[in-house]
Chains A and B, each alone.
Chain A
């Protein structure tokens, strides 16, 4: 059957050119012209303006912090669940996934009512007699929002890799004299690295490109790259600069992917990425 030419995928080739490739080239095009249609690099040189560099660096900083915290908090969770009995861990994973099914905006909004001036945290604090705290519209609020939304994305890939570790490998290590700590440090941890890389990817990417979390929890003035792009396209109307920012965003993401997937041993193209 492989000999017969098939055209089953031709429609999608046309579709993907039209709706995936062309749009990106259009954005690229817009990023290198000005309002008169002349070629220019000004949209990109604008990026080096210290204001925008700050936004850029801030996005990366917050994303890195969130990713790191997700990793530190999430790895033990993945580990503990993976060591449970088969039936228990399936239930645990199911419950881990359920909050993810809640609408993303609702999950973020939930923190608004918790962290706000009239929110739960302040209610408790003031009831106890302490002065109210202003957590909303701070870096901390945004980081908290990111962690809350993306923690399962860190746990799931690590868990998936951990349960695939061949039991016999653990037994062999023990047989060769390793105690539990050594087994973890020298066998389990290294073998789980592909899952860790996967998790880092799945948290860092949405974190660095988010605009909802920073908008709702960071407030109107809080600027991450995502917000900047959104405002350039909607409020400010400078499509050209917005396009340059989008291209920049694409480059950041694709670069991070290139770096991170070098550790991904599994066949990514085969669809294994869909945990």
Chain B
């Protein structure tokens, strides 16, 4: 009905739309001129400015630090909680916990950000690394729970009984039977928490101290002051990092056997 070429063209245009801005950022990071209206010559000067910019490096440090700490805490906390929730009997209690758990997911991040900030101010908690980490854990744990719970639900019937029946104590069962089988959910939850933390802006903006910053906040301040090719250089470096990470993670998937569900 619609010709194959038209479809291909449409897809191509979409992907060009998605990638063009990033490509421009990358290209102009090598421009000696500040504005993209003029092309000077190929230059790496913005990269050297970037790498010697202490503010950016500090921001990068905190971004990664907070991401690692908060995602590890969230994953452990969330997994234990998910296991507990899964064992609950259906009822008001379970529904309430799940609904409350959904609030940070459903709420726009500005509301979550502002509410946490209000909490910290109300209880006179000084803003800094601690409040930042708490905030990140608060919005990550729900995602971990939402990743792990389905895996728990999918566990074969009676699997725990079978393990106990064969002589395993409850803790042995947890270690050797349950956790290995929900590992994909735990990993997905961790990845989600990590990604959301690295990328977070709004919640961090409202809940950090003046000496603790992250990459997003830095970029925001720089962007508000106007165009700065340092940002372009940063974009390029981040993009390359992403490609490398994705290739490492998905490399084997790309060569996986074709699954049975072909197109219809």
Contact = CB atoms under 8 A, between A and B. Distances in A.
Interface in B141-194: 141, 143, 145-147, 149-150, 153, 160-161, 164, 170, 173, 188, 192
Contact of A12 (B37, B77, B89): B77
Contact of B201 (A20, A23, A104, A272): A104
B42 interface: no
B263 interface: yes
A68 interface: no
A91 B117 CA distance: 41
6 contacts: A9-B83, A15-B138, A22-B119, A77-B11, A102-B242, A229-B110
A273 B146 contact: yes
Given A21-B100, A152-B18, A212-B220, 15 more contacts: A9-B84, A12-B77, A19-B119, A82-B263, A85-B263, A86-B261, A96-B15, A101-B195, A105-B216, A105-B223, A108-B223, A118-B36, A123-B36, A216-B224, A233-B114
Contacts of B89: 2
B88 interface: yes
Interface residues of A, number: 99
Contacts, number: 256
Given A206-B108, A249-B108, A86 B259 contact: yes
A86 B262 contact: yes
Contacts of A209: 108-111
Interface of B: 1, 7, 10-11, 14-15, 17-19, 21-22, 24-25, 28, 35-37, 77-78, 80-81, 83-85, 87-89, 97-98, 100-112, 114-119, 122, 134, 138, 141, 143, 145-147, 149-150, 153, 160-161, 164, 170, 173, 188, 192, 195, 198-199, 201-202, 206, 215-216, 219-220, 223-224, 227, 231-232, 234-235, 238-239, 242-243, 246, 250, 253-254, 258-259, 261-264
Contacts of A103: 198-199, 215-216, 219, 235, 238
Contacts of B105: 273
Contact of B81 (A4, A12, A215, A229): A12
List 5 A-B pairs, minimum CB-CB distance, nearest first: A9-B84, A8-B84, A209-B108, A23-B115, A110-B21
Nearest to A87: B258
A105 B37 contact: no
B215 A1 contact: no
A156 interface: no
A271 interface: yes
Given A8-B84, A113-B36, A106 B100 contact: no
Contacts of B106: 205, 253-254, 257
Interface of A: 1-2, 4, 6-13, 15-16, 19-24, 26-27, 30, 73, 76-77, 80-87, 89-92, 94-96, 98-99, 101-114, 116, 118-120, 122-123, 126, 148, 151-152, 163, 165, 167, 170, 180-181, 205-206, 208-209, 211-212, 215-216, 226, 229-230, 233, 239, 242-243, 246, 249-250, 253-254, 257, 269-274
